[in-house]
Amino acid sequence: MYPFPELLTPRTRIGLATLEEAQMLQRYRVDNRTHLAPWEPERTPGYYTLEACEHSIADSRDAALTDRAYPLLVFDPSRSRVLASFTFSNVMRGVFQAAHLGYGIDHAHENQGLMFEALEAGMGFAFGSLELHRVMANYMPHNRRSERLLGRLGFEREGYARSYLRIAGVWRDHVLTARLHPDHAAA
Ligand SMILES: CC(C)(COP(=O)(O)OP(=O)(O)OC[C@H]1O[C@@H](n2cnc3c(N)ncnc32)[C@H](O)[C@@H]1OP(=O)(O)O)[C@@H](O)C(=O)NCCC(=O)NCCS
């Protein structure tokens, strides 16, 4: 049923969405519009339509098939509701073998350790099946929840980039962090 391997955790199922799941994605976007807006790029009103969700899912599947990005949804165990999402984007191969990680969780499921649980499985997938060497995640200095989450996941601070990403319409500084594949020792 799902051509992409599902990742299972005690409280979630994680996978690439199918077109039939567009309505679930729409519900997640609409329900979390206010919650996620301060941490994401500016969205047009069209972003919250069913059509935009269908396009996103089609793009996600194409991106994964072509090894460009892995936009994954975190579902409840019955795969009937979207709890969170995360993406390994900008996959770079060759001598880099790296990607960026972005994530967010439904406001009603924040502060339950669920994002950590899903991302632990996601990192296993990144360093396992995807054979990545480095995963990079960046956050705005005042995003304390993100700072704590990345710390728990074993990400280490690598730097500070001024005016790094345009979030909610404003170029914002970011703290740069990364986690390396545990078996790849530095030379
Ligand atoms: C950043 C974000 C994903 C963090 O979500 P989160 O729910 O805090 O993350 P976790 O899954 O790690 O949950 C950890 C919290 O759950 C608490 N918790 C409650 N029950 C728990 C359990 N059974 N197991 C583990 N932790 C539990 C922990 O104490 C912890 O709280 P603390 O950080 O205050 O100590 C979320 O705040 C979010 O979606 N923010 C908006 C989008 C965003 O910022 N995206 C990232 C941009 S860089």
Give domain status of residue 90, yes or no.
Answer: yes
List, for residues 99-153, the tens digit of each pLDDT value. Answer: 999 999 999 999 999 999 999 999 999 999 999 999 999 999 999 999 999 999 9
CA R_g for the chain: 16
Name the closest-CA residue to atom 42, ligand 1: 104
Element of type H or E holding 183: none
Tell whether 142 is covered by a domain.
no
Does the residue 176 lie in any domain?
no
Q: With respect to residue 23, please indicate whether it lies within any of the assigned structural domains.
A: yes
β-sheet with 7-9: strand ranges across: 7-9, 12-15, 70-75, 82-92, 98-105, 134-139, 170-180, 156-167
Nearest CA to ligand 1 atom 22: 113
Q: How many angstroms separate the alpha carbon of residue 148 from the centre of ligand 1?
A: 8
Q: How far is the CA of 9 from the centre of ligand 1 (A)?
A: 16
Q: Is the CB of 74 under 6 A from ligand 1?
A: no
Question: If 0-12 CB within 10 Å is exposed, 13-18 middle and 19+ buried, where does residue 177 land?
Answer: buried
Cβ–ligand 1 contact at 126 (below 6 Å): no
Q: What pLDDT score does 4 carry?
A: 73
Report the pLDDT value the prediction gives residue 115, as an integer from 0 to 100.
98
Task: Return the ligand 1 atom nearest residue 174 CA.
Answer: 48
Residue 179 in any domain: the answer is: no
Q: What is the pTM of this model?
A: 0.96
The C-alpha atoms of residue 19 and residue 58 are separated, in whole angstroms, by 7
Ligand 1 site, residue 145, Cβ cutoff 6 A: yes
The region, left, alpha or beta by phi > 0 then psi within -120 to 50, assigned to residue 104 is beta
87 pLDDT tier (thresholds 50, 70, 90): very high
The answer to whether residue 101 is domain-embedded is yes
Burial class, 42, CB count within 10 angstroms (exposed 0-12 / middle 13-18 / buried 19+):
exposed
Angle at 156 between CA 179 and CA 122, to 5 degrees: 35
Say yes or no: CB of residue 85 within 6 Å of ligand 1: no
CA 114 / ligand 1 centre spacing (Å): 7
User: For residue 16, is it within any domain?
Assistant: yes
Inform me whether the pLDDT recorded for 187 exceeds 70.
Answer: no
Q: What is the pLDDT, as a whole number, of residue 7?
A: 97
Q: Is 164 in the pocket of ligand 1 (CB under 6 A)?
A: no
Indicate which CATH number applies to the domain containing 67. 3.40.630.30
Domain range for 72 is 7-133
Q: Which residue type is seen at 117?
A: E
Residue 78 has pLDDT above 60, yes or no: yes
Question: Is 31 within a domain?
Answer: yes
What amino acid occupies position 63?
A
Specify the number of domains making up the chain: 1
